[in-house]
Each structure stands twice: as structure tokens, then as C-alpha cells.
Amino acid sequence: MFDILITGGTVVDGTGAPAYRADVAVQGDRIVAVGTLDGATAVQVVDASGKIVTPGFIDMHTHSDLTVRADARGWSKLRQGVTTDVVGNCGMTPYPVAHDPARAQVLRESLFAIAGEVPWGWDSLHGYRETLNSQGIGINLAPLVGHSAIRGAVLGFDDRPATAGEQDEMGRVLARALDEGAFGLSTGLTLPPSAYGDTDEVVNLCRTLARYRGRLYCSHTRGDTVAGPTGMREAFEIGQRAGVPVHLAHMAVNDPRRWGSAGEVMDELDTIAIAGLDVTGDVYPYAASSSGFSQCLPWWAQSGGRLDTVARLKDPATRARIRADMEANGLLAGWPWHWDRLLICRVENPDWAHAEGMNFLELAATRGVAPIDAALDLMRDDEGRMQVIFFYRTEEDMQVFLRHPRIMVGSDGSALTVGGPTGVGRPHPRNYGATARVLGRYVRDLGVLTLEDAVHRMSGKVATRLGLQDRGWIRTGLAADLAILDPGTVTDHATFADPHQYASGIDTVIVNGALAMTRGEPTGIHRGRVLAA
């Protein structure tokens, strides 16, 4: 007698191999049988006739670190069949936390935009894991450790090079997080304070990383320039000099002058791979990105953290310098400003709530000022927290990345739940739809990927990359993380205008052997764990 028996389904097992008919049995937190199980009995029998049974999806790139602390349910992910989120991306992690209270506060401030105000109560990855595991979470998390957090703990959020002694200390702090089970190191090289580290600093950290075989260097790169994918080349250099595997986060061509060059980018990646670098990447199936507007401000203006940035915006002379720098240098790595392509998606200040859903041209028109002034006014009044969506990508480039054999799927989104503290603002639809969109739009509707290939890029391929031994495939003995979907109906519903819409077509989700969703509804059972490498 099994705990759960899934009968009559077609198994897509996460390896990329062709689908096959099989029943799947679960006992405790494990898959205990896969095959024809006629006559078997179970406490709960799930009829999967006409449906596809897959491994629970592993989202390679997320920012759910604190959203599941704020609201453990994580229904935006469960309803997409996601059972594990990789967290700690883009250099940003809620650990390690500095002993110095002021530095700890700057770290908390820097992560506020992701989940609002949440209780922390830990100072390390170990403490974070203990806290979330005892709280209970709806999905598993596979944590990286972030460069910004490490740098912030050792030398604060100041815009200056790290001394040799500080770099040694950062290496020790990194080693502790790796000892505690971090799956790799992430950088966010357009996001201070990670952005304040130069190539040599990241190479030094990655030399520590190299002592932990298979742990990844996950790079949100320094960005592209009109001269080409220079940020990607820096990541390659870091990987080669330190001897670590490189994973490129949220691959995209963002500079409008380089749109259409995704094929050249991947040719360059293939060339370096053939030369011996172990390199992969992830992409999400949208032609827009999202982050804090702070990314658009000069790095020097962000030294010291968010509240220092706001103080500079309040000082007329400093604000004028910020404005002049932004006009002269463009957005991020020098992309041209297209204010109509920047959509305001979340503000905290209720006086500016009307701005949510507007682009900066529209906002500027309501105020009778230039778009850059509307943006800086809002940034100042919102105390540096404003989130925006950047329509700086093309569908064609995205599809080139999605199809490439070294690419897996990573939403760059977070586990959110409608009606709770995380279901606020107008976030990017990727939070609710990325995985379902791959299965519906890019597998069924457009035929960009086969079902087996898409599932592989969202489960087994990610597990292999992370070095996860016991989940990511449907196989006897592995952790029972499973999803059952209807390939004819699986659909994402979240849009930029109306993002808080759950995906549909995934009716049953099992996390560590427990039914987290059944008959299309979450059960409220929180069996997720913070995993360890």
C-alpha cells in the first residue's frame, strides 16, 4: 500500500527522453515505483489519464528568498508546477548578515523591494535555513550566496575597491556559506555593492569557490555595450582564471542598437565552451525585464545604500549631478533612454500610487516636467524603492536563447500569493507565468521546444547543473517532487497590465511526498525545505 499512486498518466521524466506511459507511486517523501502498477493500492489515488506527469519544476533563477518568509504559500509557483526555486541570485541574499547593526540594516533595506518588511532573525545561511524550515514553506529553495551580501558584510555598501585584507575576509565569509550548503556564488555586477567589485575581486572570490567542486559562479553580468556582450566576456574571464563553472543569469540583448544579435552571443558562448569553459545560462520567456529603478542611477550615487541615495536626491546640487550623469551616460551600460519603454510597476509611497502602471512619458505629461525629472522626483519621494519594467528586449532574441542547448529556464520572478503581503503592486508577469508560458505558448502553440525538451530545461537539466542528486527526475528512489499537467490547456494568464493571475492547467503538485495541490487547488500543506549542496 503506497501513500500516493498516480495512475494512467504519461511520464515525461525530466531527462529529455521521449514520454512513456507509466504509473508513479510515492511512499513517504520518495518516489518508490515507476511503471505498470496494476492492482497496487494507495491511501490517495490520483487519476492522471490524459495528463502528463513531470518532475516538479526547478526554477533556475528566482528572488523568492524573502517572499516565502513573508508568505509561505508561494502559490504563483505551485500553480505552475514549480517545486524548487533557486534563490540568492544577482548578488542579493539575506545572508551573511554583518554583526554591525548599521551594516545589517543597509542589507535589509537593500532587499526591502523584494518582499517588503519581514522578520529576519538569522545571520547566516545556516540560520536562514533553520528559520524557514521551522516556519514551513510551500516549495523547496536551493540557495546561492550573493556577492553584494558578502561585500556588504565585510566593507559595507561603499563605492570603493576592497583592500587585500578585505578580499581575504570576503573569501572566508564565502567559504562559510559554501560550508553551509550554498550551491554557488552569485554576482549582480550592475547592482551596488556587487557592482563596486572589479574583475580581480570576483576572480579572487571564485578561487575560493573553486575549492568546492561543482559549485557555480552565477553571473548577473556587468551588462552589454554597443561594442558587444562585454559583461558576458568578463564572466568568461572570471570562469577561466578561477577555474569555476559559469552560469549566466537571465540572458538577453537589452541594448536596442544590438537587438537581433542573440545568435552571435550564443556563437561566442559556444566558442568559449568548445575551448573548455563549463558554461550555461538561463532565460525567461518574455521580452521585458524588471528591477528597481535604482539600477538606472549612477553607481556613485548609490554608495552607502538606499537611504544615502535618497539623501543625494534631496540635495539639489547632487541631484543635478546625478541627472547630468544619467543624461550623458544613458541607462545602465549606456543604452539609450526610451522613457516610454520604462513602466512603473511598484511604488511604496501612497501619494504616488497613481503612477503604478504608467510609463515615464505618461507620468511626465501629468506633471508637466521632463521624464527624467518625473523619475527622479518619484525615486526621491518613494525613498529609492520604486520598481520598474524595462521593455528593452525582443521576442526573437528571447527565442534564440530559449532554443539553445546550453540554456535552461529561470523566471527571475518570486513566489507570490494573491491576497497576501506579496500580492501587491504590478509586478512582472514572470512571477506567475514563466513556466506555464514555456509549456503553453512555446511548446504547444508555437512549437519552439518539444514538451520533453522544455520539461528537461525546467527540471533535470537544472538539477544536473546544481549538482542536485536526488530530485529533478522521475526515478525510483528520488525525492517525490511531481507535477501533473494537461498539455492541451496549460496556460499562463498573467499580463503586464494584470499580473496577479495564476497559471492554469496544472492540477496536482507534490512536494517532498505531500500533496501541495490537488484538483487544481493548493492544500495548504507546506512540506518545502531549504536544500543544501
Residue 84 or 411 with smaller CB distance to Zn ion:
411
Whether 508 contacts 515, CB under 8 Å:
yes
**440 vs 505: CA distance, rounded Å:** 9
**Total residues at interface with Zn ion (CB under 5 A):** 2
C-beta of residue 140 within 8 angstroms of C-beta of residue 29: no
The sheet carrying 145-146 orders its strands as 145-146, 184-188, 216-220, 246-248, 279-283, 407-409
Q: Helix H segments across 34-124?
A: 67-70, 75-78, 101-110, 112-115
In the complex, the smallest distance separating the C-beta of residue 221 from Zn ion, rounded to whole angstroms, is 9
Output 4 or 389, the one with its CB closest to Zn ion: 389
Nearer to Zn ion, 78 or 252 (CB): 252
Q: Which stretch binds Zn ion (CB under 5 A): 17-25, 213-221, 355-363, 381-389?
A: 213-221
Give whichever of 309 and 411 is closer to Zn ion, judged by the CB atom.
Answer: 411
- Asked if residues 361 and 371 have their Cβ atoms less than 8 Å apart, the reply is yes
Closest separation in Å from C-beta 289 to Zn ion: 8
Q: Which of 388, 385, 422, 188 is nearest to 288 (CA)?
A: 388
Q: Does 220 bind Zn ion (CB under 5 A)?
A: yes
Listed ranges 7-15, 82-90, 324-332, 398-406: which one lies at the site for Zn ion (CB under 5 A): 82-90
Cα(220)–Cα(258) distance, integer angstroms: 19
Stretch of 113-121, 214-222, 340-348, 454-462 lying at the interface with Zn ion (CB under 5 A)? 214-222
Nearer to Zn ion, 90 or 97 (CB): 90
Contact 445, 488 (CB under 8 A): no
Q: Which stretch binds Zn ion (CB under 5 A): 17-25, 120-128, 164-172, 217-225?
A: 217-225
CB of 445 to Zn ion, least distance (A): 28
CB of 241 to Zn ion, least distance (A): 22
Query: For residues 78 and 90, which CB has a smaller minimum distance to Zn ion in the complex?
Result: 90
Which is nearer to Zn ion, 220 or 385 (by Cβ)?
Answer: 220
Q: Are the CB atoms for 530 and 127 separated by under 8 Å?
A: no
- Residue 162 interacts with Zn ion (CB under 5 A): yes or no: no
Please check whether residue 482 is in contact with residue 37, taking contact to mean a CB–CB distance below 8 angstroms: no
Find residue 216's DSSP bridge partners: 184
Choose one: 19-27, 83-91, 268-276, 327-335; the region binding Zn ion (CB under 5 A). Answer: 83-91
Which CB atom, from 254 or from 422, has the smaller least distance to Zn ion?
Answer: 254
Task: Write down the residue that cell numbers 516549495 correspond to.
Answer: 139
- Residue 393 binds Zn ion (CB under 5 A): no
CB 254, min distance to Zn ion, A: 12
Q: Give the integer Cα–Cα distance in Å for 435 and 447.
A: 15
Is the omega angle on the peptide bond into residue 336 within 30 degrees of 0, that is, cis? Answer: no
Minimum CB distance to Zn ion smaller for 220 or for 258: 220
Min dist CB 394 to Zn ion, Å, is: 19
- Which H/E stretch holds residue 531? none
Question: Using H for helix, E for strand and C for coil, what is the string for 270-320?
Answer: HHHHHCCCCEEEEECCCCCEEEEHHHHCCHHHHCCCHHHHHHHHHCHHHHH
Task: Give the nearest distance from C-beta 466 to Zn ion in angstroms.
Answer: 17
Please enumerate in sequence order all residues whose Cβ is within 8 A of that of 119, keeping only pairs 6 or more positions apart, or say none: 69
C-alpha cell at 200: 580581480
Spatial separation of the C-alpha atoms in residues 520 and 523, rounded to whole Å:
9
Kindly state the smallest distance separating residue 61's Cβ from Zn ion, in Å.
7
Q: Annotate each residue in 84-113 with x if it binds Zn ion (CB under 5 A) or - if it does not, as one string.
A: ------x-----------------------
| Interacting span for Zn ion (CB under 5 A) from 220-228, 368-376, 391-399, 462-470 | 220-228
Piece of 216-224, 271-279, 463-471, 473-481 that binds Zn ion (CB under 5 A) = 216-224
CB 92 within 8 A of CB 111: yes
**Smallest separation (angstroms) from Zn ion to the CB of 146:** 10
Nearer to Zn ion, 90 or 182 (CB): 90
Phi-psi region of 336 (alpha: psi -120 to 50; beta: other; left: phi over 0): beta
Q: Do 528 and 139 touch, CB atoms closer than 8 A? A: yes
| Helix (H/G/I), strand (E/B), else coil: 455 | helix
Q: Distance between CA atoms of 410 and 82, rounded to whole angstroms?
A: 11
Distance CA 91, CA 107 (A): 12
Q: Which is nearer to Zn ion, 56 or 91 (CB)?
A: 91
Residues forming beta bridges with residue 457, ordered by sequence position: none
The nearest distance, CB 372 to Zn ion, in angstroms, is 24
CB 121 to Zn ion: min, Å: 26
Closer residue to Zn ion in complex, CB, 205/376: 205
Whole-angstrom Cα Rg for the chain: 22
Q: Which of these segments, 215-223, 232-240, 443-451, 509-517, binds Zn ion (CB under 5 A)?
A: 215-223
Shortest Å, Cβ 144 to Zn ion: 12
Which stretch, 48-56, 130-138, 212-220, 352-360, contacts Zn ion (CB under 5 A)? 212-220
- The distance of closest approach from Cβ of residue 186 to Zn ion in the complex, given in angstroms and rounded to an integer, is 8
CB closer to Zn ion, 236 vs 473:
236
Binding site for Zn ion (CB under 5 A): 90, 220
